Chains A and B, each alone.
Chain A
Amino acid sequence: MEKSESTLLEVKDLKMYFPIQKGFLRRVIGHVRAVDGVSFFIRQGETLGLVGESGCGKTTVGRSILRAYEPTAGQVLFRVKDQMIDILKLKPDELKPLRREMQIIFQDPFSSLNPRMTVMDIISEPLVVNNVAQGDELKSQVRHLLEAVGLRAQHMNRYPYAFSGGQRQRIGIARALALRPKLMVCDEPVSALDVSIQAQTINLLEDLQKEFGLTYLFIAHDLSVVEHISNRVAVMYLGNIVELAASTELYKAPRHPYTEALISAVPTTDPDHKSKRIVLEGDVPSPANPPSGCKFHPRCRFAQDVCKQEPPEWREISADHWVACHLTEKLSLAGMSA
């Protein structure tokens, strides 16, 4: 994979298998292959969207990058000064300074804030743990963070219950921002919010990106939100990325049949728009026992014998457009007609 000066994070052949245990002795009888060989990179200052249906492994990718899980195999290279350091090889004490560089925003603003801590405690905790600030300096930093996310500084002594869902999500964002990270993993940050609040939060994330020079890995299942916020988009299916391209190109001219089906499944807000919908039959197979060859072949309307036997290669078919499909050159797929 091509590496350039501007790459902030590079993931190479990442695998995360969770053991399935059974019986009194908790024997391992198999593995859930949540992430099964994922490779991509994120450039400094860009937003990479990661979409897919539930259970496709997108959250596991995000958490493995932060080493919240211990991945089974692969490399996660993160730029520190001019070097790419493999996060997965670091010892705990070497990892700690790097943790400041990467933070996460969670989906559920209700369960991700401790109800017994005030907003001040929640946002200042990372600063205290990392010995960044104390006393009045700490207070003034928290005040600035609250203002940066559009909350009133005088509310810092309140508890999370006193805030609405959208405001809580802002508190979570302020906490993630506290250590001035370079990379922010946004794990479905707006899916629990009402539409009008969703838009406020998306705009806030865009503003903060400009202001603090942040790089986002934006994980979501809502394709229109991902299209809006991302420079490039990666589509995941059953533990693999099947397609990755610039957001406008991916939606306009998808090259993988799954991407095409996913785009056609989104209900459009134009009542006159009558597009031919590709309805995928059946459900996503279990990642504990994925199909052979291309994992999408049982639901793919183009599947041929080769798809059942050999897993497709992850290759760059045109500049910055990556696809894992045997047949992509032979297919003419439909995207969004604007």
Chain B
Amino acid sequence: MTPNNLQLQKPSRSDDFLVRIENLKTYFRTMDGTVRAVDGVSLEIKPGEALGVVGESGCGKSVTAFSILRLLPKSSKIMEGQILYRRNNGEILDLTKVDPNGNVIRSIRGNEIAMIFQEPLTSLSPVHTVGSQIAEAVTLHQQATPEQARERAIQMLAQVGIALPTQRFDEYPHHFSGGMRQRAMIAMALSCNPQMLIADEPTTALDVTIQAQILELMKYLQDELGMAIMMITHNLGVVAEMCSRVAVMYMGKVVETGEVSSIFHKPLHPYTIGLMRSIPHLGQRVKERLAPIPGSVPDPYSIPQGCAFAPRCPAKKLPGCKLEVPLAEVESGHFVRCTLYQDHAASEPAGS
């Protein structure tokens, strides 16, 4: 199969994007019906920036990431939308049109865009040494000789802070602790100098002190190597520390996006406000009662019409809640998908 490379010459607003997702819809077909896991997501990641993607389980944040790398299971299909990606050589490619098993995506996956996963033990092969798994990626993508690949792998292990990398090269994942496995995953992901790293809940399975080590390492490597990071997490604290921009997702849609400072200081969407209020903040002197979001996430087979958050929304109901509303730019660079803010800014929807 020949991949259908689309050379696009439509440079809309900002020109310096690395990945631009426009109105992406990824649906899953199951025995019980269609799950609209990603239902019209628009996002943009600029070179070298760290974008946080937050939301509760089932909001579609991981599926969005898997759509970029085309690592989706067979039961799913990208129904609509574009994922524009600027390759190393400047060529702009629509990843939704690429054959998921073809050579083009394989030359991007792990080479130009790398990914690290939540559970490092299940993502490393238990029957290969850690070093050989890192070296494999180098041999595959960089046309290196086995000796060069070994050298590169040892260098990467040292860079992510693993002591005695030459010895550790020949050890198996079960010899490593949880934090060290995650370091090895990062070493593997970075071994080919990717332009972008997708980190899917990279610290969720780790203890706080180990999480602190990994976050410091990722920050250091981002500064050092200038790569972009897409940080998928449900932990708002991790986003506040790591990212410059954030996108909040709910039921397959981006409901609010903007600079971290503006969203954390002044969240606008009722869901984002609810998320902020429902977590206890460390060092809070006055013991306030938590203000949880009432109800629970709706059944994915029957998402409410219009705003999916409306049944749980504490704000007063408007007729507009029954309608699909676009993301509106309420402040410069701060977009909200909520009918409360529609007349606020008669701007064009973000990213399209």
Residues of A with Cβ closer than 8 Å to B? Answer: 53-54, 164, 166-167, 194-200, 202-203, 206, 221, 223-225, 227-228, 248, 251-252, 261-273, 277, 279-280, 283-284, 335-338
Contact = CB atoms under 8 A, between A and B. Distances in A.
B279 A224 contact: yes
B287 interface: yes
B157 to A, nearest CB: 16
A196 B265 CA distance: 19
B236 A228 contact: no
A261 B56 CA distance: 28
B276 A265 contact: no
A336 B283 CA distance: 5
Interface stretch (B142-150, B189-197, B205-213): B205-213
Contacts, number: 132
B258 to A, nearest CB: 12
Interface of B: 56-57, 177, 179-180, 207-213, 215-216, 234-238, 240-241, 260-261, 264-265, 274-285, 287, 289-294, 296-297
A195 B239 CA distance: 15
Contacts of A279: 209, 212-213, 216
A272 B292 CA distance: 25
Given A195-B278, A262-B208, A263-B282, A164 B296 contact: yes
Contact of B180 (A203, A227, A268, A283): A283
A35 to B, nearest CB: 18
Contacts of B277: 199
Contact of B276 (A251, A269, A273): A269
Contacts of A194: 56-57, 234, 297
Contacts of B279: 195, 198-199, 224, 269
B213 A280 contact: yes
Given A195-B279, A196-B274, A271-B240, A166 B296 contact: yes
A272 B261 contact: yes
A283 B241 contact: no
A338 B212 contact: no
Given A269-B276, A271-B240, 20 more contacts: A54-B207, A164-B296, A195-B234, A196-B296, A224-B282, A228-B284, A251-B282, A265-B208, A267-B211, A267-B215, A267-B237, A268-B240, A268-B282, A269-B236, A269-B237, A269-B281, A272-B261, A277-B216, A284-B207, A338-B284
A266 B237 CA distance: 8
A166 B296 CA distance: 8
Given A197-B292, A223-B282, A224-B280, A270 B275 contact: no
B290 A199 contact: yes
A271 B281 CA distance: 13
Closest 10 pairs (CB-CB, A-B)? A336-B283, A267-B237, A199-B292, A228-B280, A199-B278, A265-B212, A53-B207, A196-B293, A199-B290, A194-B56
